[in-house]
Chains A and B, each alone.
Chain A
């Protein structure tokens, strides 16, 4: 194969990856706390000839390679649900969730209570408070979650609030290094340590943060991907035609 075909192929592989990422973003349009992903491409330069001993330098061949996906950690739109156990985080922070596989971080604040009264995610994993899991008691009512994450309740006939715990909020110096772990959670790779969230972070009760996927942008990216893919396919087709006619012309042995 000639280099032209291989360069076209590198572009097509990269475009397929990009469509995969766009498809996942669109599939998660309605996922609470989902953060959109994007693709980063880079140019991969290669000398055309194996040796550079010739007088003039060779023109470099430029392939494309997908280098990374990045996460868009911007704030998603906030939907009011009126559910007292729904929280959204305003600011650059994550809730901490205790899963059997270790600590995970999430922006999905659709919390629930399990049979033991513990605050859990919709997967049933415990939400971590500043001092262990947060447990509500049988007689508790009027749960209120303050801006700093303190959870207070009215217990039975009491007229004053009792505090049941405080949500642990963390942030990361470089959130791009977090890995998506499915079920709307992120995992920190080794060496990345969570820090207590900045002071300005606010917890808002009764609302959830929707997915921050912007559908118009994803649709345009999708059209761009399919069009470029078709264009590259056209270029490959032309090269193939060229090669075919060359073979036909050159192979014409005069009788």
Chain B
């Protein structure tokens, strides 16, 4: 009976849905996290009686046919790239992007990754690094005795050196954008790498040409809305149960067939 397999695809799809929802909830306090959504589509149909088939030589045609579907499949888990709320932190090296763009990070293996998580720090050499110690491009070094570090909306980092009353510019943190942000490849640690689907990275400067601006001493929170996730979770759980009910209904029908004529 086809219904058994159809319901099984439904159960698998809802299981994956719960996985994605639980990952969203687990990351509801992760800086720069973008929630994922599961995208489902129906599977192929068997046309038992094809609509539009001729039923007579006079050219009469079937107005509707019999179509039996074979279930559901998951096509993707695109990220919803909306802006997260900004949380003030009072830490001078926390930067949030308000609008379009990603920070560019050099990975230890030489690759380049991109992130919305701007919780930066200084390492022992005075370089601006991520929470994992990866260098933020273009690689700014802040002198040991510098104080009053400021980052303006364009990403320019300036400090006050001892004996000076005017700020000295250290450098500028650049931003990168992609035509298809949903096509970025998540590699964990809040980092993404570019893929053929994301398009080539386009470097630029914050607050110009459609790039977002930088907000010092702020962090971008995850854009997960707990109420939405919980209601999605309930819906997914119920849908799973209903598919399980279909399995038992199909089982019951097969059982009554098996018990016939004994």
Most buried by B among A108, A116, A180, A191: A180
User: Which of B5-13, B120-128, B150-158, B167-175 binds A?
Assistant: B5-13
Given contacts A27-B9, A30-B14, whether A19 and B249 have CB atoms under 8 Å apart is yes
Asked whether A115 lies within 8 Å of B196 as measured between CB atoms, the reply is yes
A-B pairs with lowest CB-CB distance, top 7: A27-B10, A24-B69, A23-B3, A68-B64, A23-B6, A189-B52, A233-B256
Q: How many residues of B contact A (CB 8 A)?
A: 76
Most buried by B among A26, A140, A219, A236: A26
CB<8 Å pairs between A and B, sample of 9: A19-B250, A24-B70, A27-B6, A28-B40, A29-B239, A32-B39, A115-B199, A122-B75, A176-B64
Asked whether B208 lies within 8 Å of A157 as measured between CB atoms, the reply is yes
A114 — which chain B residues lie within 8 A by C-beta?
180, 183, 197
Say yes or no for B235: interface residue by CB 8 A criterion: yes
Say yes or no for B80: interface residue by CB 8 A criterion: yes
User: Which of A56-64, A223-231, A245-253 binds B?
Assistant: A223-231
Contact with A along B18-44 (1 / 0, CB 8 A): 000000000000000000011111111
Interface residues of A in 88-141 (CB under 8 A from B): 108, 110, 112-117, 122-123, 136-141
Asked whether B14 lies within 8 Å of A22 as measured between CB atoms, the reply is no
Contact with B along A11-36 (1 / 0, CB 8 A): 01001110111111011111110100
**Consensus secondary structure, chain A interface:** mixed
A112 to B3: give the CA distance in the assembly, Å.
32
Q: How many residues of A contact B (CB 8 A)?
A: 76
Interface residues of A in 177-236 (CB under 8 A from B): 177-184, 189-192, 215, 218-219, 222-223, 225-226, 229-230, 233, 236
Say yes or no for A40: interface residue by CB 8 A criterion: yes
Say yes or no for A70: interface residue by CB 8 A criterion: yes
A108 to B182: give the CA distance in the assembly, Å.
18
A16 to B256: give the CA distance in the assembly, Å.
12
Least Cβ distance of B19 to chain A in Å? 14
A113 — which chain B residues lie within 8 A by C-beta?
179-180, 182
Say yes or no for A164: interface residue by CB 8 A criterion: no
Say yes or no for A156: interface residue by CB 8 A criterion: yes
Say yes or no for B99: interface residue by CB 8 A criterion: yes
